[in-house]
A and B are shown apart, each in its own frame.
Chain A
């Protein structure tokens, strides 16, 4: 199965169907918008969503970490959906299971956990952005210089395909332009924001099994 790649300067990024990026040179797995703890947060407030639904994302993440053995796991915000609940500890045990992977979080608008929770599992937290060479990682888009490239999450991009016979299909997508890339939400308990097919946009949709450029 062919995995699409793109390059920034001399860096290679693989676009994975599991809604994540793999940065080859730095052995870094990049993903965004997990919204962990959402199910528990709902339940705590009397909304009866099955608890298992929140655990599926952790299983997926575990698979990915086993597959790629990355040096770093870089999360572009909205790692945890809201205030602390038990699901944070599940995430913690997952990190402990992969001690060679360093977990880095660039904070998003949902990340309201107190610092000691991050510290407990050695999660390195960047308040707004992380800059590596000309590449900027942030939760939401910010202004950047001409020669820079920004990778973000936040909006949960999706793309709607139309086929013959008026068929319609909405899928999560990676939304790339000349100097920017928006990642799809990794978390399953999220919606989709429909993206336009701009002329200068490269859109990669994921079926979960494969990634297609459309």
Chain B
């Protein structure tokens, strides 16, 4: 077979290869690694895939008769569902073209029997996930498995790069490159703001030549905002948005199949319930899809969506990715999409041919949010899209990886150090830091005690290895970088799994109580260990579970567009946009109760209520930046006098609330926003907050410090349970230079506080005119923050003082 045969095959399918596909084939044949930038549904799979086949056949002219050629290529996808699609597409082309290439999937769903079969006779293409690839590295003799491999493909790299799963890929690639220096690495990515960097992160600092190939296909997208009839009756706060649900129903009826994206799992449950109340005839035609539902349920929904049997599916980011649903012709986004890339990704979920117009409806959940429809349109007009910031120096993932290697073939320290130095993530790790990691897994950190019994990884003749079966089992069970909260399994009496909910929620309930989950009212029959046994209930109302997990911040790009739209509100030419016309009354109220800030102004509002003294500020920079700024502002004010603040924020602004009067005027005179060294300011302020502690949960789990136990756990494994908070406390006290602890603080700076973005915000604010308004009534800007129950705190009062005040307060009530 030659390129000509492939071109003929394309012709047979009535396709014409795109220039980027041809270019990718050539690049692969010439031994390049690279990144293909192409949107979903444009034949990106075939760009790399045929390159792999052509390359294989070039190297093996006897490919038709070659016996047991072994594993030739690995295809990594971020989700299992995509794997099936890849398997289908690749194996179909192979059988059409009569190439004896076997394609198999290796994921969490793969049975032991299949795995055994694969071990005996590896397929030529293995479709897998980052986690499963690491599990392969945890098996003795993995080097044999990978000895013939020529190419690794990382699909949807834009989804992986900004996560620790991306780091896992970097590490796995470094090992494979160590085994096969001429290995080719190919990424496939949608457009993101830092595409060049994405390529550098994936391809690392290896000797192979690299190439970026862009598909340059035009994209057309139309946004329509759903408006309330009377804006005055539309709520000022909230993020559920069911008020507009009746307006969504006709859209469902007039479409073939609809995806309704919500931002949280509880929100999707609420929408599903209310949708059935408003349109009972949709029962059986609509379904729910979110991350806490059982895998089987989700697969069922995906299959039926694919087959066009469902009228609507209410989902979360769980369906951001996945197979193409050609039956879907309409996409609805409920609530702020938070970012342009995410919004476009969701809009692209409706089946359409490349270049066709996609339409997406935007359903705001509160009045101010309406502006995001206009901001989104502006972003598309200007072609701005967010960057995905890669993780660097993730010692937690490195430690996990080192133990993984130790428990399969074992490793030599120098060899692995040289390999990880080639990656983007660990390029700056010093020999001392690497030695610390080795100490951590062999000696458990700085062990001062001569009788210490720490045992995990041991060194035998210069090889780091795991000798304890218990250590090996625990490690295999806790590998991965996706950390979930303690989840209880919800099951029917028959044993059928429904999904999982958090212990936090279920601890408030007892047998006989009813809760709403997976689109049903469920009555608790029995709670046993980590299982909640339920039966369906006819009760009318049930509590809706909530899941922890951060709310995403508004992206920097979208924030800028919102500020731009507010700034241009009074411009005559802008007033034609429907979002702005609808917002007129609200903005005028903001102006009359307080002030509507232009881009040259920074608004600060203060008010006294029964709850205490409030100060509001509106940087419009997303909730994460606000959380950090609020802490810094709080600390600076409390330098005037000792105070305790409760802090609340949303994507538009933040609030400081105190029991004492806040000396805001005095603080402004003392240059409240004057920042000499932001990192130092943050460290001073953030130390008193919970941020690093929260970050540490994930780190501790990935690094194998906390162990959740496993099914049928013995007494002894129960004795090994502890929460990350305990480790955090103990490291802070006894081992403050611990690299995992330092990592928590670094991650807070980069991801939680987005220090780069905060720096820009400070620069901007310092050029703005400060406008301080004393309010009589809360404004449309202030109200949504005022009613937010998610709070942080900042204090420099002593524990005893605070307790005494709370106690007095308690007695008065």
Contacts and interface: CB of A to CB of B under 8 A. Distances in A.
Given A52-B734, A83-B716, A163 B452 contact: no
Nearest to A46: B456
Contact of A50 (B734, B791, B799): B734
A167 B646 CA distance: 6
A116 B470 CA distance: 27
Contacts of A81: 719
A48 B451 contact: no
Contact of A49 (B727, B804, B809): B727
A86 B454 CA distance: 11
Interface residues of B, number: 59
Nearest to B614: A165
A207 B706 CA distance: 27
Nearest to B791: A166
B447 interface: yes
Given A161-B810, A163-B805, A169-B802, A46 B646 contact: no
A214 to B, nearest CB: 6
Interface stretch (B84-92, B438-446, B564-572): B438-446
B805 A48 contact: no
A120 interface: no
B576 interface: no
A45 B646 contact: no
B474 A45 contact: yes
B742 to A, nearest CB: 15
A86 B735 contact: no
B803 to A, nearest CB: 6
Nearest to B717: A45
Nearest to A163: B806
B585 interface: no
A158 to B, nearest CB: 13
Contacts of A210: 800
A50 B803 contact: no
B730 A189 contact: yes
A47 B704 contact: yes
A168 B645 CA distance: 11
A210 B807 CA distance: 14
B807 A207 contact: no
Nearest to A207: B799
B720 interface: yes
A212 interface: yes
Interface string A73-86: 00000000111011
Given A46-B455, A47-B720, A48-B445, A162 B806 contact: yes
Contacts of A163: 644, 659, 802, 805-806, 809
A171 B810 CA distance: 16
A40 B456 CA distance: 13
B68 to A, nearest CB: 39
**Most chain A beta-carbon neighbours within 10 Å: one of B448, B645, B720, B810:** B720
B658 interface: yes
Interface string A36-62: 001011111111111111000000000
A46 B802 CA distance: 39
Nearest to A81: B719
A7 interface: no
B722 interface: yes
B731 interface: yes
The list of the 9 closest CB pairs from A to B, nearest first, reads: A46-B456, A163-B806, A48-B444, A164-B659, A82-B719, A50-B734, A165-B646, A43-B454, A53-B730
Given A50-B730, A50-B731, A162-B806, 4 more contacts: A48-B454, A161-B807, A207-B800, A209-B800
27 contacts: A40-B453, A42-B722, A43-B455, A45-B470, A45-B471, A45-B474, A45-B720, A46-B474, A48-B440, A48-B441, A49-B722, A50-B734, A51-B447, A82-B719, A83-B719, A163-B644, A164-B611, A164-B612, A164-B805, A164-B809, A165-B611, A166-B789, A167-B644, A168-B793, A169-B799, A207-B800, A209-B800
